[in-house]
Structure 1
Amino acid sequence: MKWTVGKKIGGGFSLVLALVILMSGFTIWKIGEITANYHTFSKLNIEKMEMVQGTAADIANEGVTMRRFNFVGDPNDIPIYNDYKTKSNDRLKWLEKNLQAGTGLEYITSIKKAKEEYEKIAEMSMAAKQAGKIDEVARYMADAGAPYKATMTAAEKLTLDTRTYVIQEQEQYAKDARSSQIFLIVINIIVIIASSIIAFFISRNISRPVHTVAEAASQIAAGNLAADKITYQSEDEIGQLADAFNQMRISLRTVISQVSISAEQLAASSEELTASAEQSAQASTQVAVSIMEVATGTEAQGRNINSAAATVGNITTAIQEIASNASIATEISDQAAAAAQNGGSSIEAAIHQMNTINHTVTESALAVTKLGERSREIGQIVDTISNIANQTNLLALNAAIEAARAGEQGRGFAVVAEEVRKLAEQSQEATKQIASLIQEIQNETDNAVTAMNDGTREVKLGTDVVNTAGGAFTEIVSLASQVSGQVKDIASAIDRVAAGSEEMVVSIREIETISKETSGQTQTVSAATQEQSASMEEIASSSEALAHLAEELQVTIATFKL
């Protein structure tokens, strides 16, 4: 069976309530038993005393009635005497049946024996009175004195012993009542202690893991992802929360590690891209210088073309110099093309890396958003616990009111109700503290989401910049290829001019035309190299900005302890 926090709290309070109900039921039963025993005891003892005292009174009235009849001779005294005799005999039978040994039972036999002897003589005296035998009446009355006295003495002893027994039973009953009272007090104390122990264990089993989870949340909020795993064996809501925190720490650690590695790679790629852009700019500058030199030579060739026929030797020398410069320009153009291709490869790698960083940062933002949702779910659980504590407080208040109505008998129940109310108030205070901590976690989570969104936007901007640089590098590669081809064409043309130097005079006009075309082409190449140099500067600037963003990302990641 899965014991949730609500079941634990409900089970604890149910157990305490069961103990209180058992204690109350036992108290009511014990009080009822004591009351019933008291009523039975009182009724029986009162009846005993009435019977004993009535027996003594009836015997005394027998003697009075007998003497009055013997002196006065009133015939109405005879039925009165018989009535006293019958009542005293009935009382003696009841006492003989209900008295126990040691409580006056031994006097019943003496009373009956002396009473029979006395009644026999008394009836003989009354018969002599009716017959008018006055002398016999006096003699019978004198003979009846001794048994009558023995009867009254035994009756007095019976009365005294019965009274003593009743007093002793009353004292014993009082002792039993005090013992029962002490026993009930002990039972109440045991129930209170047991309830306190149950409440203590329930409170500790809830507060300890919650405190552990709160400390783990504080460490995560401070950026410490290297803390120990939360260990909690129960499968209740707190155990689920602990598992979620452990999984969240692992996920955050993985994401931050990946982002850190990507940031380092981004910084390295940015530095390489900057270096490549600078090299490409330098190469473009060299190409531009060479092309300008070619353009200058071509213009000089055009100005001197009218005197070419007379100075063939000088032209041959100039053509050789041009061929040499063209070879140098070809090599420089090839280097520029190779550098541009390398720069394009670096740009493609940077684009791929920026896309990876963008994907990683997006996943980080989603993970932090899930953390915020988990925190809100925890807040709902804490609200539920707070509502339970409120209901418990109301129940404790109602129980205290009912205990107050019960008066003295409900005093122990009132103490238990007060303890339950205090526990409910403590639970409310604990839930408030937990709610405050969860609010702080949610605030930190929202801040983290905002930071992740900002990082995502910055990475997107970096990606766009790198994509732009990639397009520029594509154009640079294309232009470098064109420049290389054009320079090679120039070198080939100059070679052909050198081979046909003997025919130069004849085709001077053709050379003039070629010189003009060469001048225009060199100007075009010069403009292209200038554009390439400007593009390389833009790429270098973008690479520096990208490196700065990577450094900021590394600083942000460094706040987390893995």
Structure 2
Amino acid sequence: MLPRWREKFFTIRSKLMLGFGVILFLNLLMGFALLYMFGQVNASYNRLISREVKVMNETQAALVKFEQAALDLRGYMLSGDPNYIMRYQEEMETAQKAIDQLGKSITFPEGKNYFNTLLKAVADFKVYGDGAIVLKRQSLLEADQLAGYRQIEDYLNQGKGTVERVVQAGNAIVLYMEDQLNKGKQHNNEISLQVKRWVIGGMAASVLLGLVIAVLIVNMISTPVRDLTRQAGRIAEGDLTTDKVWVKSKDELQILAKAFNKMTGNLSNILSELREKSSQVASRAQQLTAIIQQTSSGITGSTAVMHQMAATVSQVADNTQNVSRMAESAGGQAREGQTALDNIRLQMEQIIFATRQVGQAINNLNQTSRAVFQIVDLITEIAEQTNLLALNAAIEAARAGQEGMGFAVVAEEVRKLAERSAKAAGEIRVLITAVQEESGKAVSAMDKGVREVETGNRVLAQVGVVLESIIQSVQDVETQIREVAAAS
């Protein structure tokens, strides 16, 4: 566990999590934006089919019934056959139901204006038709048939254009809905273009940001570790005159560098003290030899010489104890360095685990993209079925002749919409494929980062071996010094 003052640093694990988190967030944001745009396009097409096309179909159906009713009315006026009256009333009732349904479908203000014009034209035609029927019935009861025909002819001339106004009002609704349909198609094209721009921009930003983060993280970890390894190798060879290792990043590597520099300084001080104390021991040994020689030359001064020798041995013991304490201090510093290395290795393992989790998240995103593929395939299949239905409708309209011309136009528009839906689904498939490829590149970059961190972990293990060797050497020196102290 790191001390409190070290917890304020921005650790390597935090930097890695932040970098990969930014990349993952950007990919998720791009994916959600793509799904949102796709939903907008799909909703727009559904609205076009459920509103514009529906209104066009209902208007065409109402006009067909109305024109059939007008033909039945004209047949009655020419022949006087009551069967025409029955068919006229049935066709008008059916046409009125179609118009009522059309009124429920038209909910927008401009469409209401066109619909009100159609209602007025139909009402005028009903008044015109009722008057014509009454006039025809009166003429059949009169004795002068020629005068009756003239009255009917005058009435028909006065109401000339009534049928055309109804047809024109209905066609105005159809033309307006066709214009709305074209505007909706143009809006969908703009959304598709916007989706392309979002995806291209998001992929470019994700790739660029991933490369920048990968380069920064690799340099941030490999450079300090390489410097520490080089300096540790020189120390292992016995060279303690190495320069200090400076790390600017405020993380575990900076803590390790400071501990390493402190350990190097302490080792240098210990060796200096050892050299100095060794010189003193050699000097005292020479003095002891001289005293022993003086002792052997005569018994008279033996007592004084023995006292002097005891003082010398006591001083040697004191010096040896000082050296022993310094050796213990050096061993403690080396063990602190070993503890710091263990903490770094633990952080490295946590970094590897976090990086693999991010890779798993990106793989999950790829799985989600495959699900979107299935949705796109479903839309493509629906578009193909719609296209087939439109072709069948066009064939049936062609069989109907002039009366099916309106249905043929609607069928053609539906077929175009189906083709456009299939094309948009194909473009979305291409974009999602590109997203999956870029996600694969991001996973490869993270795998490379994991390998670099594992390499750094192995280097730290080598440094730990070197530190253990240094600790063992210091302990050996400490043991020898204690033996000297015990012997003295």
User: 2:235 aligned with 1:228, yes or no?
Assistant: no
Aligned to 2:194: 180
**Amino acid in structure 2 at the alignment position of 1:264:** S
Bigger shift: 394-403 or 172-181?
A: 394-403
What's the CA shift for 1:181?
Answer: 1.9
2:244 counterpart letter in structure 1: D
The alignment yields a C-alpha RMSD, in angstroms, of 4.3
Give 1:180's aligned amino acid: Q
Query: 1: CA distance between counterparts of 2:134 and 2:155?
Result: 12
Encode CA deviations 1:359-402: one digit per residue, 9 max, x unaligned.
Answer: 44444345434444443443333333333334444444444334
Going from structure 1 to structure 2, the CA distance change for 1:108 and 1:461 (only over 3 Å counts) comes to closer
* Alpha carbons 1:66, 1:81 under 8 Å: kept: yes
1:447-467 deviation per Cα after TM superposition (whole angstroms, max 9, x unaligned): 3334334434544555566x3
Q: Deviations over 1:75-109 (max 9, x none)?
A: 243243245445656739839965766x8967974
Q: Distance in 1 between matches of 2:484 and 2:108?
A: 114
CA distance change for structure 1 residues 123 and 106 in 2, over 3 Å: closer, same or farther?
same
> Is 2:447 the counterpart of 1:425?
yes
Per-residue CA deviation, residues 225-247 of structure 1 (Å, 9 max, x unaligned), is 5423534463x444433343343
Secondary structure of the structure 2 residue equivalent to 1:230? coil
The CA distance in 1 between the partners of 2:58 and 2:194, in whole Å, is 31
- Corresponding residue for residue 461 of structure 2: 439
- Among 252, 265, 270, which residue is 2:267 paired with? 252
Match of residue 91 from structure 1: 99
Partner of 1:43: 50
- What's the CA shift for 1:9? 3.3
Q: 1:249 to 1:451 in 2, by over 3 A?
A: closer
2:277 aligned residue: 262
Alignment of 1:378-527 (within 5 A): 378-407=344-373, 408=429, 411=433, 414-415=436-437, 417-459=439-481, 462-463=484-485, 467=488
Q: What's the counterpart of residue 80 of structure 2?
A: 73
Q: Distance in 1 between matches of 2:84 and 2:220?
A: 90
Question: Is 1:357–1:459's contact at 8 Å kept on the other side of the alignment?
Answer: yes
Secondary structure of the 1:455 match is: helix
Deviations 1:241-266 (A, max 9, x none): 33433432333233233223223333
Cα deviations by residue, 1:281-337 (Å, 9 ceiling, x for unpaired)? 8x72xx6xxxxxxxxxxxxxxxxxxxxxxxxxxxxxxxxxxxxxxxxxxxxx76787
**Letter aligned with residue 251 of structure 1:** N
Provide structure 2 residue ranges, at least 5 long, that are not aligned to the other structure: 1-6, 374-428
- Aligned mates of 1:112, 1:344 — CA distance in 2: 134
Residue 334 (structure 2) pairs with residue 368 (structure 1): yes
The one-letter amino acid of 1:427's match is G
Residue of structure 2 equivalent to 1:541: none
SS of residue matched to 1:228: coil
Cα 1:413/1:256, change in 2 over 3 Å: farther
Check the 8 A contact 1:55/1:88 in 2, yes or no: yes
| Cα drift, residue 440 of structure 1 | 1.8
Cα distance in 2 between the residues matched to 1:96 and 1:387: 59
Structure 1: segments with no counterpart, 5+ residues = 288-332, 468-562
Say which SS state the counterpart of residue 254 (structure 1) adopts: helix
How does the TM-score come out when normalised to structure 2?
A: 0.67
Residues 190-210 of structure 1, C-alpha deviations (whole Å, 9 max, x = no match): 662585255665565555555
CA spacing shift, 1:268–1:229, aligned 2, 3 Å: farther
Distance of 1:170 and 1:237 partners within structure 2: 59
- Whichever residue aligns with residue 249 of structure 1, its letter is T
Where does residue 293 of structure 1 map in the other structure?
A: none
Identity %: 14
What code does the residue aligned with 2:454 have? K
Matched letter for residue 455 of structure 2 = Q
Change (3 A) 1:178 1:362: closer
Aligned-pair CA distance for 1:433: 1.5
Shift of 1:65: 0.6
Q: In 2, distance between residues paired with 1:334 and 1:347?
A: 22
The structure having more radius of gyration, on CA atoms, is 1
SS in 1 for 2:202: helix
Task: Answer whether contact 2:53 2:177 (CA < 8 A) is retained.
Answer: no
Distance 1:51 1:365 in 2: 95
